Amino acid sequence: MRVGINSIRFNNPTALIKVLKKIKNFNVEIIGTDVQELGYSAASLLSTSYFQAPSLTEEQEYFNFLTHLCVEKSIDILIPGSDSDVYFLGKYKDKIPSIIITPEINIIEKLNDKLNASLEMSELGVKTPKILNNLVGEKKIIFRKRISSSSTGIYVVDLTSESYIKNYFNSDYFIQRLVKGDEYTVDVFADKNGNPKLIIPRKRLEVKAGMSICSQLIKHQSIINACKMIYSKYYIPGLSNVQFIDDGENIYFIEINLRFAGSGISSILGSFNYLEEYLNHYVNNISLKTLDYYMNLVAWNSIITRYYTEVIYKS
């Protein structure tokens, strides 16, 4: 089976490559692409083959590149490696000759905008940190960029001790009341109908550069129930993740990412290699078992830590 992965310089595609290479029941060839030259990312060396891609900003050129590559290499399925790839592949998935698993473009546009996503969740009945239009009486607030990824575009301001930055008062940002508590990332694997088959909340124990490097798998039923509500309304097939904060009294939706999480490998290591189930389902049309069945395969309360592995390229 030939699997294409875009933008492989990021953490989540690198993790995907690592777990795809562990599949034993069928052969997987990994065709990686990115704007960098071969050797400038570890994932370019971990892939079976690597092709330097044009920038995503050159939309027509990037489309032509992917279309040609999918035909030339007979790529069975393309997996997006970044939020930008999710948007691009969602937009062109009916025109690119490989299987592409994303939500429909209208859902991508709606949920990629963090302000719109927060408003949607509030209407659904899932709590979100209060969106502020007036700062009178507020102490700590958070500016959030509406379109951003990997914990970028987030600025916490203490109004009692520092002046806030006026540059953030524009249409690219919105303001929420700061909520503190335990942070959770939830890895979700859903079938062709968008029905979740795995919902794995991970409590973030240690974070570096916005990514969890130590986490614990917690069967947090309130968070699991909130995810069931979200995925019952929105058609989100394949791999995605949702972020919450638990302040001890309530859980708060923070954001949803329509791709495999940067630290999503933790849920695979703490359960089973469900990338094999993913490929069998979407490429080989094999039916999946129930949510309860797969949830019983998770080693709940286990702690997963991460470390770097070095590779070298001799140019």
Shared domain for 20 and 41, answered yes or no, is: yes
Our count of domains for the chain comes to: 3
Give the domain range for residue 156: 130-177
Shared domain for 87 and 190, answered yes or no, is: no
Is 122 among the domain residues? no
Is 311 among the domain residues? no
Is 82 among the domain residues? yes
Please tell me the distance from the alpha carbon of residue 122 to that of residue 252, in angstroms, as a whole number. Answer: 10
Shared domain for 271 and 192, answered yes or no, is: yes
Shared domain for 212 and 300, answered yes or no, is: yes
The whole-model pTM stands at: 0.95
Please tell me the distance from the alpha carbon of residue 16 to that of residue 5, in angstroms, as a whole number. Answer: 9
Shared domain for 160 and 245, answered yes or no, is: no
Structure tokens that stand for 87 in this block: 């948007």
Give average pLDDT by consecutive 10-residue segment, the chain, 315 residues: 96 95 96 97 96 96 98 98 96 97 98 96 97 87 86 79 64 92 98 98 90 94 98 98 97 97 96 98 98 98 93 88
Shared domain for 165 and 218, answered yes or no, is: no
Give the pLDDT score at 212.
86
CB within 8 A of 51, min separation 6: which ones? 31, 32, 33, 69
Is 30 among the domain residues? yes
> The domain spanning residue 222 has which CATH number?
3.30.470.20
Shared domain for 220 and 294, answered yes or no, is: yes
Instruction: For the sheet with 77-79, list strands across it.
Output: 49-52, 29-34, 2-5, 77-79, 99-100
Give the pLDDT score at 78.
98
> The domain spanning residue 47 has which CATH number?
3.40.50.720
Give the pLDDT score at 167.
61
Give the pLDDT score at 66.
98
Give the pLDDT score at 137.
83
CB within 8 A of 307, min separation 6: which ones? none
Give the pLDDT score at 237.
98
Is 33 among the domain residues? yes
Strands (E), the chain: 2-5, 29-34, 49-52, 77-79, 99-100, 140-145, 154-158, 173-177, 182-190, 196-208, 211-217, 238-246, 251-257, 303-305
